[in-house]
Amino acid sequence: MFQAPSVFQRAPLPPATRESEPRHEQTLTATAPLPTAGPGARGAAAPAPAAAKKRDPYFDNVKYLAIVLVAVAHAWEPVMDGSRATRALYMIVYAFHMPAFILISGYFSRSFDMTPPKVKRLITSVAVPYVLFETAYSLFKRYADDTPDMAISLIDPFFLTWFLIALFIWRVTTPIWRTLRHPLPVALAIAVLASVSPDIGDDLDLQRVLQFLPFFVLGLLMKPEHFQLVRRREVRLMALPLFAGALLFAYWAAPRMQLGWLYRANSAQEMDAPWWSGAVMTLAMFGCALALTIGFLAWVPGRARWFTALGAGTICGYLLHGFLIKGAEYAGLFDRYTWLADPVGLVVVSLTAAVAVTLMCTPLVGRALKWATEPDLKWAFRKDSAGR
């Protein structure tokens, strides 16, 4: 945990986490924010290709660029302690990359209800991958890090798998948020209460689930026209001084601010901060994350680019890049090659992470991993759950 007597204080760097998403109800990660076209019924007078859903290149671009930021930020963690500038950049990326992912996930979850076809999709694209990769990461640590007592726990998510269980919970509760008159204030109130409730514990990473909840709910409330407003030229221009100011502030705060406020994995009391600081920081971080997310979304290209197709494979990039980061850590590479903490080394680390996660998002990897990210479990469901 992070130990410091106040909101701003030097604290040790804990491992981060990251993010991903499922499919249908285009989520934010590869398959995850996947939008997929619905099944094309055969036989009856099919309304032609126009009826099939078409992927929006803008959101695929958002997903790809966001997953690159996730991987690069994870790669910075083991080597950033000696560089105040790198820590500042890390803080900026961590302030908005997960909120952006979660907001987009909420946006593509707007139509979720508890009908059998959508419940089936939720189980196969979120719950099952969570079980498989939570087990895989635990076993990887047990043998690669020579940690024979590493337990396999589906209740205590390890590293980046927390996002899958969080997405499952958020999606299941979507009908509730769609019913409330003022869902965002309610979600913010829950996040604030979670930040001052140290007894919540680590089960299912509920602190993160509750503290990140407002971004998912905000995504549920968004409409296509909101994204059109975000992409206006004026917003893009305003984003430049916004990020410049954020960088200056982060450079000042880097040696003072606990990174735990960015991870949202603990209450204020668990970080040895005054209980009231949880409420203050929750609201402040929400505003900061929202502003930076808008700035990020404003600069994402709306047209197809060379990387657009990779947006459909971000679930693989998200789930696989952790093995690369953790593998290098378990092998002691960051300790052995101390030059990686130098400016040139940081560039090498960043490029390596970006290239690796890009390759992991390719269709070839997606097809090879489909058995784990989109398993065909027809045998596990009643025939009437197919919804056809």
**Residue-wise pLDDT tens digits, 266-286:** 999 999 999 999 999 999 999
**pLDDT computed for residue 387 by the predictor:** 53
Written as six digits, the tokens of 347 are: 């560039």
Q: Using an 8 Å Cβ cutoff, are 60 and 133 in contact?
A: no
Please measure the distance between the N-terminal and C-terminal CA atoms of the chain and give it in whole angstroms.
49
**pLDDT above 60 for 67:** yes
Q: Which pLDDT value is given to residue 383?
A: 80
Q: What is the chain's mean pLDDT, rounded?
A: 86
Please say if the pLDDT value at position 386 is more than 90: no
CA 293 – CA 227 distance, rounded (Å): 12
Average pLDDT of span 172-188:
96
Confidence of residue 385 (pLDDT cuts 50, 70, 90): low
What number is the average pLDDT over the span 192-219?
94
In this predicted structure, what is the pLDDT of residue 22?
A: 36
* Tokens describing residue 82: 């000696």
Lowest mean pLDDT among 54-58, 136-140, 260-264: 54-58
Residue whose entry in the numeric block shows the structure tokens 């590493």 = 150
Q: In whole angstroms, give the CA distance from residue 36 to residue 276.
A: 44
For range 245-253, the mean pLDDT: 96
Where do the H-state alpha helices sit in the chain?
57-76, 84-107, 116-122, 128-144, 162-172, 174-179, 183-195, 206-211, 213-221, 224-230, 233-253, 260-263, 275-299, 314-330, 333-336, 343-360, 363-368, 370-373
Q: What is the mean pLDDT of residues 47-52?
A: 42
Q: What is the pLDDT of residue 261?
A: 94
pLDDT of residue 81: 84
Q: What is the mean pLDDT of residues 21-42?
A: 38
Q: What percent of the chain has pLDDT over 70?
A: 85
Average pLDDT for residues 86-91, to the nearest whole number? 94
pLDDT more than 90, % of the chain? 75
